[in-house]
């Protein structure tokens, strides 16, 4: 991914935050937290993952389709986009 | 949407099928069908709607972004795509 | 579904509204509306369908699991709930 | 959560696997992996998270609603279930 250093840093920070949420869920399960509490934490992690996915799909669309450096990159970038959409809306 | 007549006919047929599924759910509710049965029919209609959405997003991406007729169309087509993705992954 | 007449009327009204949204999408396609517009209408119909599904799952849970009239109804109501959850989170 | 030790171990193993997937995504981003590859890994992590959520919702339903130890637990367990459903189908 050809992100600027700043953008890349922000995206990696979001990935780490989700990893941290999974660690929180692990601890909650180990310490016998209430079921409802674990489900709430899981819903929150899923929301963060959806947000990150939307961000990366948008970045991909802008860089590799809209502003692709060649027709070939645009074609393959568009096809990758189609594959991802199918995964989410199957 | 600049679909060929054939493509357009197929897409409209899918929309009508989902409309028919909604009519089936209406009848099921009116005749007092079991709750589980209504939920199954609803899940099936939702699956059909997801499939149709994926199809239309792909068509939009191909026509108005990958094969856009101008840079301006590509920019606005890409932006519409981003808006739709955000709706589905918010 | 053992809804009161009033509840049932409200649910059927929601189903009809979604059917109306599908008719709107059909017309939009037939009259050559912009792709982005059709996708927005489809996202709106999907939101309405999600809301209706949540409502029916809650009604099912309350009537056939939490307030089930027998242990047998509770078991089978719970199993139907599990099947529906799997459909949505597969 | 009142899981048996064995069940609990399996669930924690699934949480750790998702954490491992997030670490893989972090590495992919840091080493400049292709956008499409990162999106595929993210889709895979999301699938694993959906599967885990379905599992925990089912466990919650069975333990705290269907086989609740008191009417009070059944009521509150049912309400927590409703809250989670609304989060996923809003």
- pLDDT tens digits for range B20-55: 999 999 999 999 998 889 999 999 999 999 999 999
| B-chain residue closest to A62, CA distance | B78
- Mean pLDDT for B64-68 is 95
CATH number at residue D32: 1.20.58.1000
Two tokens, residue B88? 């589905």
* pLDDT beyond 60 at C1: no
Is C42 part of the contact surface with chain B (CB cutoff 8 Å)? yes
Q: Per residue of chain A (90 residues), what is the pLDDT tens digit?
A: 556 777 889 999 999 999 999 999 999 999 999 888 999 999 999 999 999 999 999 999 999 999 999 999 999 999 999 999 998 887
pLDDT score, position A2: 58
Put simply, the answer to whether D39 touches A46 (Cβ < 8 Å) is no
Domain that holds residue A61: 5-88
Mark out the alpha helices in chain D (DSSP H runs): 5-30, 35-60, 71-88
Rounded-to-integer distance, Cα C52 and Cα C61, Å? 14
- Tell whether B58 is within 8 A of chain A (Cβ): yes
Q: What is the mean pLDDT of residues D78-90?
A: 90
Q: Is B71 exposed, middle or buried (0-12, 13-18, 19+ CB in 10 A)?
A: exposed
**Total number of domains constituting chain A:** 1
pLDDT in tens, C34-77: 888 999 999 999 999 999 999 999 999 999 999 999 999 999 99
Neighbour tally for C72: CB within 10 Å: 9
Q: Please indicate if any CB of chain A lies within 8 Å of the CB of D45.
A: yes
Query: Which of A28, A47, A48, A30 has its CA nearest to residue A38?
Result: A28
From the centroid of its chain, how far is CA B58?
11
Angle value at C-alpha B53, between B51 and B57, nearest 5 degrees: 120
What ipTM was predicted for this assembly?
0.86
Q: What is the DSSP letter of D74?
A: H
Q: Could you tell me if C71 lies within 8 Å of chain B, comparing CB atoms?
A: no
* Longest pairwise C-alpha distance within chain A: 55
Given A26, A30, A84, which is nearest D43 (Cβ)? A84
Report pLDDT for B2.
58
Whether D54 sits inside 8 A of C85 (CB atoms) is: yes
Q: Is D72 in the C-facing interface, judged by CB distances under 8 Å?
A: no
User: Is there a contact between A80 and D35 (Cβ–Cβ < 8 Å)?
Assistant: yes
D26 pLDDT more than 60: yes
- Which chains have at least 3 CB atom pairs separated by less than 8 Å from chain B? A, C
DSSP letters along D48-63, please?
HHHHHHHHHHHHHIII
Write down the pLDDT at residue A89: 86
């Amino acid at each position: 991914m050809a992100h600027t250093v700043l953008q890349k840093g922000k995206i990696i920070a979001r990935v780490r935050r989700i990893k941290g949420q999974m660690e929180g869920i692990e601890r909650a399960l180990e310490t016998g937290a209430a079921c409802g509490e674990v489900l709430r934490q899981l819903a929150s992690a899923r929301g963060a993952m959806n947000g990150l996915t939307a961000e990366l799909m948008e970045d991909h669309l802008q860089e590799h389709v809209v502003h692709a450096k060649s027709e070939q990159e645009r074609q393959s970038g568009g096809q990758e986009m189609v594959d991802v959409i199918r995964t989410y809306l199957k």
